[in-house]
Amino acid sequence: MTERNVSIHVPAMTRVEGEGSLRLRVEKGEIEELALDIFEPPRYFEKFLEGRRHHEVLDIVARICGICPIAYQMSAAQALENAFGLTPSDWVRDMRRVFYCGEWLQSHALHMHLLAAPDFLGFDSVVGMAEKYPDEVRRGLRLQGLGNQLISLLGARSVHPVGARVGGFHRAPTPDEVDAMLGRLRDALPDAEALVAWAAALPMPEDRQDFTNVSLRHAADYPFAEGRIVADNGLDIGVDEYERHFVEEHRAQSTALFSLLDGEPYLVGPLARLNLNLDRLPDSSRGLLEASGIAFPSNNMFHSLLARAIEIHIAIVEAIRILGRYRPPESPFAEPRLRAGTGCGATEAPRGLLWHQYQVDDQGIVRAARIVPPTSQNQARIEVDLRRSLLAFGLDQSDDALRLRAETVIRNYDPCISCATHFLKLDVQRR
């Protein structure tokens, strides 16, 4: 390899949610500096929640992310219900699962077709890709639109939905609304099946590496809105034990925190979920995965795209299964009995595990809040992946080629950088 000095700064990465940059310095054939900088200002959501009443929390946290507001609402609802000792009804738990199906559909479809696929097909954007692959782009937009419709069924609108509340939902869909949605979901199954085959056939880099997978694990089904936290290193804990094993730390270049599991980076997201929950797949989704010819569990990070395609199919199948037995409830919510306490909640956002903790007083007022989003949990893993992938790619490649490979690696995680920006605790010592 020809030794050369390279200094690459990607000031604002395109096709990601939010603002971030990459610094890479190569000297004499070695990576001397590599840092994913998240420089968006801290957004103070945890501080905004202090002093708020419990029924305000869900509408506030939905504003953290325009792509995955339901994840924030469901994690918050779970945490507050745990603090109040409220167990939601089976109907509420089923509808939360359907609600989540809508979010996975729209988020995964957007990422696959508009953000990630151009990397693997040699286009700068989906605009150029649409000229050669118009049917595939239309399919992605149809699936995204279906996800938005499913969110609206329970959330009243698809962006920052307002239908959820602690204890359930403000309103139950009518049988006619559910029947109409079922028809749309069934019509979309061929699109989802074709998407899996298409994703499996995309030209993916062969870049295998070691990493620790972390996700929720449901007692019987593929995990969405509840479960225990597990990892392939043997971890199996309740949601309330999160802080005993996971630690966040500040680094100078980032307003996002870096998360470590027992001192090491780890992976959350669709690939980790699929790797850890293959035995929880619906039969039809398992058949599609087996027909793809790609073996799972996989340690190729670029197989995250196929994992998203499988999860789109899972979301449609699950929504059909649950809505197919729909019955309107006597009440779509249970009123919590207020008490002082601390509660934790964890759900699977499209990008991975999302953990919330709230301390409330006996009036249901939030006194402390902590939110750990998936992008900040993946931050350390992304940097490890960048170093490993760029070395495998070859540091003697052109600057443009190195830049594109680095951006492709980052986009593969579908990072929601705005979600990850965090309130920074300031410790000033003066003498």
Is 429 inside any structural domain?
no
In whole angstroms, give the CA distance from residue 296 to residue 115: 24
Residue 429 has pLDDT above 50, yes or no: no
Domain span at 355:
45-420
pLDDT in tens, 134-168: 999 999 999 999 999 999 999 999 999 999 999 99
Q: pLDDT tens digits for 83-108? A: 999 999 999 999 999 999 999 999 99
At 307-357, the pLDDT tens digits run 999 999 999 999 999 999 999 999 999 999 999 999 999 999 999 999 999
Q: For the whole model, what pTM was predicted?
A: 0.92
Question: Residue 421: pLDDT band by 50, 70, 90 thresholds?
Answer: low
Question: What would the mean pLDDT of 184-189 be, rounded to a whole number?
Answer: 98
**Structure confidence at residue 66 (pLDDT):** 80
Q: Is residue 28 part of a domain?
A: no
- Predicted local distance difference test score (pLDDT) of residue 243: 96
Q: CB-side exposure of 262: number of CA atoms within 13 Å?
A: 7
Q: Is residue 78 part of a domain?
A: yes
> Is residue 25 in a domain?
no
Q: What pLDDT score was predicted for residue 257?
A: 81
CATH classification at residue 262: 1.10.645.10
The rounded distance, in Å, linking the Cα atoms of 74 and 371 is: 12
pLDDT tens-place string over residues 198-250: 999 999 888 899 999 999 999 999 999 999 999 999 999 999 999 999 999 88
Mean pLDDT of 2-30: 67
| 8 belongs to a structural domain | no
As a whole number of angstroms, the distance between CA 358 and CA 342 comes to 6
Q: What is the mean pLDDT of the chain?
A: 91
Q: Is the pLDDT of residue 418 over 90?
A: no
Residue range 359-379: average pLDDT? 95
Predicted pLDDT at 146: 98
- By C-alpha distance, which of 324, 321, 309 is closest to 283? 321
For residue 200, tell me if it sits in a domain: yes
Instruction: Tell me, yes or no, whether 18 lies in a domain.
Output: no
Q: What is the pLDDT of residues 37-52, one digit of tens each?
A: 776 777 788 999 999 9
Question: Is a pLDDT exceeding 60 seen at residue 8?
Answer: no
11, part of any domain: no
What is the number of structural domains in the chain? Answer: 1
